[in-house]
Amino acid sequence: MRTALTELTGVTYPIVQTGMGWVAGPRLVTATARAGALGILASATMTADGLRAAVREVKSRTDAPFGVNLRADAADARERVRIVVDEGVRVASFALAPSRDLIAELKDAGVVVIPSVGARRHAEKVAAWGADAVLVQGSEGGGHTGGVATSVLLPQVVDAVGIPVVAAGGFHDGRGLVAALAYGAAGIAMGTRFLLTSDSPVPGPVKAAYLAATVDDVTVTRAVDGLPHRMLRTDFVVSLERAGRVRALAAAVRRAARFRGLSGLSWPRMVRDGLALKRGKDLAWSQVLLAANTPVLLRAAMVEGRTDLGVMASGQVAGLIDDLPSCEELVRRVMSEAQQVLGSLPEPGGRAVT
């Protein structure tokens, strides 16, 4: 199945594995790339040196194209862009809209630029700045999310920009791929579905918590960092929502200190990163600190397996997933289902398309 996404990135199938912090490392990205989809390394939870090492590890395991997700607001964003360029990475994606200069620098080096957006106006902005494609996530998606459903946001963006659009938020199978293509998308991106594979490095107890979740167990909360954040509702998340301002601030300071030790970041750098997220938003200082060290809460679950002390970002689609295929099995299944759906669609005269 060839689409504008496969032509642009060089992958075999129009499927993207999103850059999930602590999850989308060399192991998952390599497995995704080998399966013919576009794997995206999550660099926000890596040091710059760690990012370079991760890129080289993937390159040593596969010749297939892959990408790196970058934080445009990070203090060392330009250094990380240079790593992507120097190492010959095919795709750069961004969690926040990159500047016009960063887009130009990447494009001049032949890197495909695919920012992630959650609103039509953001898609129009990065398209005007030269982005090659855009990934649009509806409210069903995991992590930081907006309030507009994919089925409403996706056609809005497709109609507004003249570049390929990748659909994210609520996708997990071949039916979703066909639906996205029908809306005009060039492919789909999946996070939770790739997290729940045998190639994902997430500890078994955490995967079990996801598999046990129903659609109603996936919630949106502002208690973690002041921004809408979709995740599994756990006792720990409930405790964060019930914590007072003083307790929240004390906990934020403790976790910030821990993240500083893990990441090697300085206090001024952490504050700058937190302020970048605070800009334009009415956040308390406790929330600013939490915004700077939210990776610690994710790491507790995704790396250490502490479902009782960490947060588990999740799309609503977790309530529909009940198995742990390999990335190869998953991609093959999605493509097979898509072909079956396409073959069963009725023609205007009532016959199935063959």
**Confidence tier at 309 by pLDDT (50, 70, 90):** confident
Question: Phi then psi for 47, rounded to 5 degrees?
Answer: -75, 170
**Confidence tier at 222 by pLDDT (50, 70, 90):** confident
What single letter denotes the amino acid at residue 285? W
pLDDT for residue 105: 97
* Alpha-carbon span 285 to 278, nearest angstrom: 9
Task: Write the pLDDT tens digit of every residue in 231-256.
Answer: 999 998 998 888 766 666 666 666 66
Task: Write the pLDDT tens digit of every residue in 19-72.
Answer: 999 999 999 999 999 999 999 999 998 999 999 999 999 999 999 999 999 999
Q: H or E segment at 59?
A: helix 48-61
Least confident of 126-140, 274-288, 314-328: 274-288
Give the global pTM: 0.90
Two structure tokens written together for 152: 């409403």
Q: Which residues are CB-neighbours of 278 under 8 A, at least 6 positions away?
A: 226, 287, 288, 291
Q: Are 117 and 157 in contact (CB under 8 A)?
A: yes
Distance of CA 206 to the CA centre of its chain: 18
* Alpha-carbon span 274 to 256, nearest angstrom: 11
pLDDT for residue 354: 47
Domains and CATH numbers, the chain: 4-201+324-344 (3.20.20.70), 204-302 (no CATH)
Two structure tokens written together for 35: 């399966």
Q: Which residue has the higher pLDDT, 73 or 201?
A: 201
What proportion of the chain, given as a percentage, has pLDDT over 90?
74
